[in-house]
C-alpha cells in the first residue's frame, strides 16, 4: 500500500462515517432525539420544534450575528445508539451545547459523555435523577415526574381522596412516574390500595381495572403513562363505569388524547398540564400567554399537527440555550454552561425558569396547572 | 363471578385480535413455508390507510375497502419483489427478508403519513353491552365475529375449493404441483394478496379498540406469530384456538396473578406447549409434509 | 465455506492488523467509539457463527444472554461487592448455566419452532430486567461501575482516552474470541457440529450425539453473547433492558447472516456493516429506516449466503 492509497482510504473512511458533518463555522448545537421507535410519540414533536425554531432564529439574523447550525440525530430510543451519537456530537461534530435525550433511559446513558467533555446538555426527559444530584453540565426543561405526582396528590387531598388505585404503563415513562409517586405519596396521607400495570402495546385493560373496581374503598384512580395506553385505559374506564375520578399524567397532555379516548369517555378526566394546552384560556395578563400562543400558532402552521407538551420541552430548551449564548456573548461551552445556570425569569411553555447552582430545572409547582376535560375541551381547575 | 366473566370477555376480545393476525400468517406459510414477519405491518397499514382515507372525507366502509385493497397490492408486491426471487433460501434468510420488509414498510408509512396515534369511530357506537355483570364493547363483537368468519372462510377455502387445495399442493411439493398443471406463481401471488388483505381487515376491525400508529406492527406480529405457533403453524384452526387461548391466558394472568407478568405467561405457555408438542396443538398434519 | 482451516492464521492476522492500523486514519475519537462497538457486536456475532454457521441452529433470543452479561456487571459489584471484571466472568458463567438449562428442551425444536421458543426465552429475560425495578432500575436502566483498568494502565504510563481504551480492550477480546472460534472449527466438536448441520440423521447414524453437540454450541454462543454484553455495559457505564430486547436479538442474527454466518470473518464483517450503517444513514435523515430495511432485503435476496462468501466467489470467478 503506498501513501496515496492510504490517504484515499482515510478520506473515504472519513467520508463514509462523517458525511453529515458540515464544515462551516456557525454556532453548532447538537441534538440526539428519539424521532422514531417507541418514544417517537415524544421525540417527533421535539425534533420538529427544534428544526422549526432554528430556521426561525436564523431567518431573523441568528444569535449574536451568528447562525445556528443544528446537528440532529435520531437515536430511535436506543440508549446505546444515543451514546454513540452523543460521542459523535462531542468528538466529531464539535458542538458547543446539546439538547436531547427524549427518554430518561437515553438521557442517563449520554450524561457521562457530556460531563466528561464539559459540554452543556439540556435533557428533555422527566425523571428527577437527571438533575438530582445536580451535575455541573446537565440541565432539563420538563417538570420532574415527582412534581406531576405532587400536583395530582395536592388535588386529591383537596378533594378529600385518601385511598386510590394505580394503573401504570410498564414503559420507562409509566414505571418512572409510578416509582416517584410512591416515594412521596406518604406526605399526602394517601394510600395505594390496588397497584396494576399494563404493557405499552396492550389492547385491553379491563382485567386490571376490574380488579381496581372490586377493591373496596378506592376513591380515585391514577394512570401514569403515555402513548395509546392511557387512551385505552380511559375508554375501558368508561366501559366498566367505575364512576370514580380518573387522574391522568402530564404524559397525555395534548388535544390528541381527548380525540383518541373519545370526548365522552374522557369527560371529567383530570391531569396536570402546562399552559401550552390551554393557551387560549389563559387570562390576558398571564406572563406565559404570549409565549405559548406564539409557539402553538407557529408549530401548527409549520407541521399541520396539534401542538404537544413534548414539543414545548424542546422549545423551552432551545430558548434557554439561545438566551444563555446571548448573555454569555460567547460560544465557549463553559461560558454557555455558566449562562444557562444563570437563567433568570425566562418564560417558556412549561413555566417561568429560574435556575441556580443548586437547581438545574428552575421550575416550581406553580408552573403546572390542574386541568379537567369538559365537553371535549380543557378547563382550568382552581 | 362477574370478575371472571369480565376477564373472559377481555381475553376473548384480545384473543380474537391475535387470532386475526395469526390467520394472516397461515396462508403465506401454507403456500410458501415462509413465516412473514411483516404480517403485523399489514395490520398497521389496514388501520393507517383507513384513518387517512376516512379523514379525507370518504365514508368508513369505502375507506376500509380501499385500505384492504391497497394492502393486498403491497402484499403482492412483497411476494413479487422479495419472496419469489429468494425462493429456496434458508429459514434465517427468509426471516431477515421479511423483517427487512417490515422495517421498510414502517419507514415508508412514517414518511407518507405521520408518527402520531390515530383511531376512527367504532362501527356500532361505544355503548357497552352488559352480560351478567360484565361488559363488552360492540366493536369487540365485530372483532370476534371477524375472526370466526375469516376462520370459516379459510377452512372452506382450503378444504372445499380447488384453488385452496392447489395452495396446499404447492406448499407440499412445488414441482409436483406444477406437473399436475397448477400455476404455482399465481398461487403464491394469490396467497400474499389474501394474507395481506386479512391483515388489513384485522387492522380495520381492531383500530377503534387498540388505536393505530406507524409502529404498532411489530407487537401484533410477535403475538400473532406466538398464537400461530401455539396452535400449530399453517392450520387455520390452530391460529384461531392459539389466538383465543393466548388472549384468555393473558387476561386471566392480569386478573388473578400479576398484570406485570401477563406477557411472560404467554411466552411460558409457548415454551411449555412446544416442549410437550413440538408441532403446536394442531400442527402435526401440516408439518408432516417435510 | 471459504475459510479453510489453513486460513485460520490469515484471518487472525488480518483481523489484528485492521484493529491495529485503522486508528492511524481516525480523524476523531468518535471513530474509536464506532470501532469498539463493531468489536463488541463482532464478538456476539462470532458466538452466533458457532451456533448458526457451524451447527445450523437459529436463535432469536440471544440478546437475553447479552442482557445477563450486561446486568451482571451492573448488579454484582453493587450487591456482591465483586470487581466488575469478576462480575463479567460471573455473568458468563450464569449465561452458560442458563443456556444449559434452557438449551436442552429448546434445541429439540427445529426451524420456526426453535425460532419462536428462543424468541420467547429472550423476551422473558428482557421482561424480568424491565419489571424487577427495585433491582434493575426498570425500563430506564441503571448505572454500571467503572472497570478501573484504564486508571490502572495510567499508573504504569499508558494513558489512553476512554474511547481509545475501549477500542483496544474490545479489539483484544474480539481477536481472542475469533481465535477460539476458529480453533473450535477444526476440533472434533467443530467437525461434529458441521456434520449435524449437514444432516442430523446422517450425523446420528455415524454415532454423533447430536443433542449433546447442539447444546455445546448453544452454551458457547451464550457465553460469547454474555461477554459482549458485559463489555458494552462497562463501556457505556449505563445499561437499560433494551440491550436484551427482541430487536437486539434480530440485529445480531442479521449481522451474522448479512456478512456470511459460515465464517468468523464474514460475520464480523456483517457486524461492522450493520454497526456503521446507522451512522452513515444519518445522511438520509427520515429515510434512514427505509434504507435499512431495503439494504437488509437486497443483500438477502441477491447474496443469500452473505456478503463475504458472495464477494469471495465473485473474486475467485474473475481470477479463473
Backbone angles phi, psi at B183, to 5 degrees: -80, 95
- Cα B37 → chain centroid: 10
> Cα-Cα-Cα-Cα dihedral of C179, C184, C186, C192, to 10°?
-160
Percentage of the residues of chain C whose pLDDT score is greater than 90: 39
The mean pLDDT of C23-32, rounded to a whole number, is 88
- Tell me what pLDDT residue A8 has: 46
CATH number at residue C223: 1.10.3470
pLDDT band at residue C318 under the 50/70/90 scheme: low
CA distance linking residue C125 with residue B103, whole number of Å: 24
Half-sphere exposure of B284 (CA within 13 A, CB side): 3
Cell numbers of A47, please?
A: 425534533
Q: Which of B6, B225, B263, B266 to mutate to test the interface with A (most CBs of A within 10 A)?
A: B6
Are C162 and A116 inside 8 Å of each other by CB? Answer: yes
pLDDT band at residue C37 under the 50/70/90 scheme: very high
Q: A222 has which bridge partners?
A: A166, A247
CATH of domain A145-273: 3.40.50.2300
Which residue did the predictor score with more confidence, A155 or B280?
A155
- Tell me what pLDDT residue A368 has: 86
Whether A356 and chain B come into contact, CB under 8 Å, resolves to no
Q: Work out the angle at residue A50's Cα, subtended by the Cα atoms of residues A48 and A53, and round it to the nearest 5 degrees.
A: 105
Q: Which of A17, A107, A128 to mutate to test the interface with C (most CBs of C within 10 A)?
A: A17
Please report which helix (H) or strand (E) contains residue B131, including its range.
Answer: strand B129-131
Are C276 and A108 inside 8 Å of each other by CB? Answer: no
Which of the residue ranges A373-382, C43-52, C206-215 has the most confident prediction, judged by mean pLDDT? C43-52
**Average pLDDT across chain A, whole number:** 88
pLDDT band at residue B187 under the 50/70/90 scheme: confident
- Tell me what pLDDT residue C35 has: 94
Residues of chain A with CATH 3.40.50.2300: 3-143+294-366, 145-273
pLDDT band at residue C221 under the 50/70/90 scheme: very high
Phi/psi zone of residue A345: left (φ > 0), alpha (ψ -120 to 50 degrees), beta? left
Whether C49 and chain B come into contact, CB under 8 Å, resolves to no
Quote the DSSP letter at residue B82. Answer: I
Q: How many Å lie between the alpha carbon of B91 and the closest alpha carbon of chain A?
A: 27
A186, A240 Cβ separation under 8 angstroms: no
The mean pLDDT of B180-205, rounded to a whole number, is 91
* Statement: the pTM of the whole predicted model exceeds 0.90: no
Reply yes or no on whether the pLDDT at B289 is more than 70: no
CA distances from A171 to A61, C65, C129, C137 (A): 42, 21, 12, 12
A63-77, C79-93, C146-160, C210-224 — which is least confidently predicted? Answer: C146-160
- Which residues in chain B have their CB less than 8 angstroms from residue A204's CB? 10, 13-14, 209, 251
Which chain A residue lies closest to C278 (C-alpha atoms)?
A81
Which chain C residue lies closest to B258 (C-alpha atoms)?
C131
Reply yes or no on whether the pLDDT at A11 is more than 70: no
Are A112 and C163 inside 8 Å of each other by CB? Answer: no
The mean pLDDT of A84-105, rounded to a whole number, is 93
pLDDT per residue as tens digits for the range A212-247: 998 889 999 999 998 889 999 999 999 999 889 999
Q: Give partners of C (≥3 CB pairs < 8 A).
A: A, B
B261, A198 Cβ separation under 8 angstroms: no
DSSP string, chain C: ----GGGHHHHHHHHHHHHHHGGGG-SSTHHHHHHHHHHHHHHHHHHHIIIIIIS----S-THHHHHHHHHHHHHHHHHT---HHHHHHHHHHHHHHHHHHHHHHHTTS-HHHHHHHHHHHHHHHHHHHHH-HHHH-GGG-EE-----HHHHHHHTT----HHHHHHHHHHHHHHHHHHHHHHHHHSHHHHHHHHHHH-HHHHHHTT--HHHHHHHHHHHHHHHHHHHHHHHHHHHTEE-GGGGSHHHHHHHHHHHHHH-TTSHHHHHHHHHHHHHHHHHHGGGGGGHHHHHHHHHHHHHHH-TT-HHHHHHHHHHHHH-
Q: What topology does CATH give the domain A3-143+294-366?
A: Rossmann fold (3.40.50)
- Which residues in chain A have their CB less than 8 angstroms from residue B135's CB? 206, 239-241
Domain tally, chain B: 1
pLDDT per residue as tens digits for the range B129-173: 988 888 999 999 999 999 999 999 998 988 888 888 888 888 777
pLDDT per residue as tens digits for the range A47-65: 999 999 999 999 998 898 8
Are B110 and C286 inside 8 Å of each other by CB? Answer: yes
Nearest by CB: C116 against B90, B229, B263: B229
Is the alpha carbon torsion for A88, A94, A95, A96 positive or negative?
positive
pLDDT band at residue A1 under the 50/70/90 scheme: very low
Are B104 and C287 inside 8 Å of each other by CB? Answer: no
CATH number at residue B233: 1.10.3470
B180 in helix, strand or coil?
coil
Range of the domain at B89: 2-287
Q: How far apart are the first and last CA of chain A?
A: 76
- Tell me what pLDDT residue C295 has: 87
Are C304 and B93 inside 8 Å of each other by CB? Answer: yes
- Tell me what pLDDT residue C6 has: 56
CA distance linking residue B240 with residue C169, whole number of Å: 51
Residue with cell 434445541: C107
CA distances from A339 to A61, A120, A348, A360, C163 (A): 21, 10, 17, 12, 30
**How many other β-carbons are positioned within 10 Å of the β-carbon of residue A239?**
22
Nearest by CB: A87 against C25, C33, C286: C33
CA distance linking residue A149 with residue A49, whole number of Å: 27
Which chain C residue lies closest to B105 (C-alpha atoms)?
C290
CA distance linking residue C91 with residue C234, whole number of Å: 13
CA distance linking residue A167 with residue A225, whole number of Å: 9
- Tell me what pLDDT residue A25 has: 60
pLDDT per residue as tens digits for the range B19-67: 999 998 888 888 888 889 999 999 999 999 999 999 999 999 999 999 9
- Tell me what pLDDT residue C278 has: 86
B110 in helix, strand or coil?
helix
Whether B229 and chain C come into contact, CB under 8 Å, resolves to yes
Are A91 and C33 inside 8 Å of each other by CB? Answer: yes
- Cα B22 → chain centroid: 4
**Average pLDDT across chain B, whole number:** 88
Nearest by CB: A214 against B3, B116, B263: B3
Are B95 and C115 inside 8 Å of each other by CB? Answer: yes
B288 in helix, strand or coil?
coil
Domain tally, chain C: 1
ipTM value, please give it.
0.88
- Tell me what pLDDT residue A95 has: 95
CA distances from C204 to A382, B279, C107, C215 (A): 78, 22, 15, 15
pLDDT band at residue B285 under the 50/70/90 scheme: very low
Whether C7 and chain A come into contact, CB under 8 Å, resolves to no
Q: How many Å lie between the alpha carbon of B91 and the closest alpha carbon of chain C?
A: 7
A123, A139 Cβ separation under 8 angstroms: yes
CA distance linking residue C25 with residue A13, whole number of Å: 8
Q: Work out the angle at residue C56's Cα, subtended by the Cα atoms of residues C52 and C62, and round it to the nearest 5 degrees.
A: 35
The mean pLDDT of C289-318, rounded to a whole number, is 83
C287 Cβ contact list (under 8 Å, min separation 6) = B107, B111, C281
pLDDT band at residue C71 under the 50/70/90 scheme: very high
Inter-axis angle of helices C246-259 and C307-319, nearest 10: 10
Q: Which of A43, A44, A196, A210 to mutate to test the interface with B (most CBs of B within 10 A)?
A: A210
Range of the domain at C203: 5-15+30-319
Reply yes or no on whether the pLDDT at C319 is more than 50: no
Amino acid at each position: 500500500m503506498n501513501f496515496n492509497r492510504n490517504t484515499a482510504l482515510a478520506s473515504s473512511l472519513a467520508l463514509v462515517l462523517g458525511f453529515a458533518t458540515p464544515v462551516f463555522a456557525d454556532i453548532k448545537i447538537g441534538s440526539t432525539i428519539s424521532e422514531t421507535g417507541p418514544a417517537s410519540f415524544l421525540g417527533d414533536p421535539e425534533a420538529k420544534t427544534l428544526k422549526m425554531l432554528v430556521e426561525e432564529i436564523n431567518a431573523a439574523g441568528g444569535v449574536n450575528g451568528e447562525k445556528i447550525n443544528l446537528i440532529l440525530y435520531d437515536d430511535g430510543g436506543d440508549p446505546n445508539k444515543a451514546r454513540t451519537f452523543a460521542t459523535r456530537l462531542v468528538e466529531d461534530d464539535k458542538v458547543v451545547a446539546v439538547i436531547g435525550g427524549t427518554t430518561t433511559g437515553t438521557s442517563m446513558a449520554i450524561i457521562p459523555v457530556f460531563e466528561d467533555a464539559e459540554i452543556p446538555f439540556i435533557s428533555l426527559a422527566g425523571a428527577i435523577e437527571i438533575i438530582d444530584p445536580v451535575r455541573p453540565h446537565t440541565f432539563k426543561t420538563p417538570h420532574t415526574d415527582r412534581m406531576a405526582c405532587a400536583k395530582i396528590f395536592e388535588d386529591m387531598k383537596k378533594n378529600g381522596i385518601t385511598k386510590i388505585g394505580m394503573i401504570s404503563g410498564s414503559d420507562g415513562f409509566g414505571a418512572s412516574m409510578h416509582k416517584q409517586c410512591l416515594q412521596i405519596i406518604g406526605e399526602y396521607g394517601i394510600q395505594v390500595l390496588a397497584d396494576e400495570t399494563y404493557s405499552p402495546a396492550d389492547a385491553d385493560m379491563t382485567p386490571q381495572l376490574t380488579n381496581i373496581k372490586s377493591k373496596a374503598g378506592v376513591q380515585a384512580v391514577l394512570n401514569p403513562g403515555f402513548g395509546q395506553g392511557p387512551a385505552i385505559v380511559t375508554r375501558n374506564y368508561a366501559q366498566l363505569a367505575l364512576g370514580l375520578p380518573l387522574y391522568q399524567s402530564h404524559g397525555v397532555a395534548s388535544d390528541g388524547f381527548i380525540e383518541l379516548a373519545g370526548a365522552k369517555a374522557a369527560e371529567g378526566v383530570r391531569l396536570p398540564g402546562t399552559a401550552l394546552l390551554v393557551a387560549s384560556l389563559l387570562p390576558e395578563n398571564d406572563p406565559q400567554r404570549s409565549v405559548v400562543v406564539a409557539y402553538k400558532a407557529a408549530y401548527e402552521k409549520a407541521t399541520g399537527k396539534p401542538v404537544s407538551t413534548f414539543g414545548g420541552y424542546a422549545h423551552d430548551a432551545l430558548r434557554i440555550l439561545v438566551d444563555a449564548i446571548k448573555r454569555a456573548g460567547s460560544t465557549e461551552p463553559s461560558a454557555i454552561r455558566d449562562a444557562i445556570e444563570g437563567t433568570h425569569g425566562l418564560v417558556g411553555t412549561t413555566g417561568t425558569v429560574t435556575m441556580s447552582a443548586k437547581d438545574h430545572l428552575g421550575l416550581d409547582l406553580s408552573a403546572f396547572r390542574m386541568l379537567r376535560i369538559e365537553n371535549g375541551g380543557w378547563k382550568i381547575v382552581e | 363471578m362477574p370478575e371472571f366473566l369480565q376477564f373472559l370477555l377481555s381475553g376473548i376480545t384480545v384473543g380474537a385480535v391475535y387470532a386475526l393476525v395469526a390467520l394472516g400468517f397461515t396462508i403465506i406459510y401454507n403456500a410458501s413455508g415462509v413465516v412473514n414477519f411483516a404480517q403485523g405491518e399489514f395490520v398497521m397499514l389496514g388501520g393507517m390507510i383507513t384513518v387517512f382515507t376516512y379523514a379525507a372525507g370518504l365514508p368508513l366502509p369505502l375507506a376500509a375497502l380501499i385500505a384492504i385493497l391497497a394492502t393486498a397490492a403491497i402484499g403482492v408486491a412483497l411476494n413479487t419483489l422479495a419472496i419469489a426471487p429468494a425462493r429456496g433460501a434458508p429459514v434465517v434468510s427468509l426471516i431477515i427478508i421479511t423483517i427487512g420488509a417490515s422495517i421498510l414498510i414502517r419507514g415508508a408509512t412514517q414518511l407518507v403519513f405521520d408518527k402520531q396515534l390515530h383511531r376512527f369511530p367504532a362501527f356500532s357506537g361505544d355503548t357497552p353491552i352488559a352480560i351478567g355483570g360484565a361488559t363488552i364493547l360492540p366493536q369487540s363483537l365485530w372483532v370476534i365475529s371477524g375472526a370466526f368468519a375469516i376462520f370459516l372462510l379459510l377452512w372452506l377455502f382450503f378444504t372445499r375449493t380447488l384453488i385452496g387445495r392447489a395452495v396446499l399442493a404447492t406448499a407440499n411439493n412445488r414441482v409436483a404441483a406444477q406437473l399436475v398443471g397448477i400455476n404455482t406463481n399465481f398461487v403464491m401471488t394469490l396467497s400474499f394478496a389474501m394474507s395481506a388483505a386479512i391483515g388489513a381487515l384485522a387492522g380495520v376491525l381492531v383500530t377503534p379498540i387498540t388505536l393505530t400508529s406507524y409502529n404498532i406492527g411489530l407487537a401484533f406480529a410477535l403475538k400473532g406469530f406466538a398464537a400461530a405457533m401455539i396452535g400449530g403453524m399453517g392450520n387455520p384452526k390452530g391460529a384461531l384456538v392459539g389466538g383465543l387461548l393466548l388472549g384468555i391466558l393473558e387476561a386471566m394472568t392480569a386478573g388473578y396473578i400479576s398484570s406485570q407478568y401477563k406477557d411472560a405467561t404467554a411466552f411460558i405457555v409457548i415454551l411449555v406447549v412446544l416442549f410437550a408438542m413440538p408441532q403446536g396443538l394442531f400442527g402435526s398434519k401440516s408439518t408432516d409434509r417435510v | 465455506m471459504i475459510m479453510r482451516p489453513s486460513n485460520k492464521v490469515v484471518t487472525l492476522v488480518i483481523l489484528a492488523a485492521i484493529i491495529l492500523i485503522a486508528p492511524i486514519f481516525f480523524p476523531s475519537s468518535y471513530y474509536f467509539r464506532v470501532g469498539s462497538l463493531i468489536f463488541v457486536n463482532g464478538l456476539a456475532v462470532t458466538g452466533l457463527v458457532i451456533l448458526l454457521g457451524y451447527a445450523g441452529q437459529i436463535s432469536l433470543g440471544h440478546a437475553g444472554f447479552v442482557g445477563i452479561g450486561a446486568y451482571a456487571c451492573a448488579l454484582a459489584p453493587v450487591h456482591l461487592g465483586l470487581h466488575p471484571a469478576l462480575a463479567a466472568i460471573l455473568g458468563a458463567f450464569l449465561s452458560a448455566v442458563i443456556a444449559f438449562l434452557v438449551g436442552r428442551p429448546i434445541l429439540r425444536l427445529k426451524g420456526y419452532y426453535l425460532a419462536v421458543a428462543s424468541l420467547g426465552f429472550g423476551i422473558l429475560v428482557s421482561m424480568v430486567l424491565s419489571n424487577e425495578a427495585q433491582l434493575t432500575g426498570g425500563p430506564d436502566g441503571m448505572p454500571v461501575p467503572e472497570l478501573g483498568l484504564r486508571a490502572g494502565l495510567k499508573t504504569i504510563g499508558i494513558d489512553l482516552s476512554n474511547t481509545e481504551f475501549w477500542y483496544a480492550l474490545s479489539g483484544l477480546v474480539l481477536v481472542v474470541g475469533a481465535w477460539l472460534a476458529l480453533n473450535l472449527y477444526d476440533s472434533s466438536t467443530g467437525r461434529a457440529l458441521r456434520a449435524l448441520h449437514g444432516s442430523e440423521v446422517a450425523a446420528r447414524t455415524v454415532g454423533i450425539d447430536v443433542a449433546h453437540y447442539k447444546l455445546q454450541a448453544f452454551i458457547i454462543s451464550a457465553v460469547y453473547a454474555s461477554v459482549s454484553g458485559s463489555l458494552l455495559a462497562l463501556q457505556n457505564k449505563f445499561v437499560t433492558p433494551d440491550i436484551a430486547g427482541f430487536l437486539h436479538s434480530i440485529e445480531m442474527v442479521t449481522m451474522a447472516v448479512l456478512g456470511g454466518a459460515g465464517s468468523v470473518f464474514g460475520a464480523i464483517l456483517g457486524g461492522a456493516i450493520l454497526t456503521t450503517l446507522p451512522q452513515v444513514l444519518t445522511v438520509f435523515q427520515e429515510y434512514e429506516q427505509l434504507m435499512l430495511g431495503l439494504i437488509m432485503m437486497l443483500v438477502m435476496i441477491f447474496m443469500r449466503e452473505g456478503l463475504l462468501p458472495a464477494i469471495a466467489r465473485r473474486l475467485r470467478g474473475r481470477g479463473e
